[in-house]
Structure formats: structure tokens, C-alpha cells
Amino acid sequence: MPGRHLPVAFRCALSGLWYALRTQRNMRIQVGIGLGVVAMGVWLRLTPDRWAILAVVSGLVLVSEMINTVVEGTVDLVCPDCHPLARTVKDVMAGAVLLSAIVAVVVGLLILGPPLWGQLMQRSGAQ
């Protein structure tokens, strides 16, 4: 029965997510930053459309980091000796993660910046 395999698939997926969180320092850093963004979004009372955009870019960064983990592990498995192409593959994947993080920061600043600035100006004007 196909439906009986669904819980196993979810367990495997959660195991992979837990592995990435447990073993990848950058993944933990990115989750921490994401939690900070969520806290700021709650404080600024973001609209649902802004939450959706932040969720997409944050998810992009986390998925990129997980793909990077898979690529690095696969390259190490297939090519235990340091081959120049293996280094290139790892570097390009790390660059993709960096690019996704830069995009997320820019989007975060565009979404959080104006209401944060408004809050700061309102508080400084009230004193």
C-alpha cells in the first residue's frame, strides 16, 4: 500500500534536516538569523505578503545550504583525493549559497528597513 511509505519518507526527510542542523555550522547561523528576522517581523507587524517574500528568500538560503552539504559530501565520496574539478564544484556551490544569502539580505533590508526606520524615527521623535 503506497500510503504506508509516506510516514517513512517524512521521517527520512526530517532526519536529513536534523543532520544539516546538527552538523553544519552555517546552517545553524542561518537559522539563527532567520529567527531574528521573524522576531523583527513580528515586532514590525509585517503584512502577509511581506511575510511570504521573507519566507521564500529565507527558505532559498536554507535549501541552498542543504544542497551545498549534499554536493560536498558527494564530491568527497566520489573523489577522495583533491582533484581541481572537485575543488571547483565545491567552490561554485559555496558561491551559490553566498549569492542566495546576499539576495536574502537585500530583500530583508528592502522589506524590514522602511518600517524599522519608521519605528526608530517615531521613538526618537517621542522623546
- Is residue 65 annotated as part of the catalytic site, yes or no? yes
Alpha carbon distance 39, 50 (integer Å)? 14
Active-site residue (options: 34, 65, 108, 111):
65
Alpha carbon distance 97, 110 (integer Å)? 20
Distances from the Cα of 99 to the Cα of 47, 83, 92, angstroms: 26, 24, 10
The set of catalytic residues is: 65
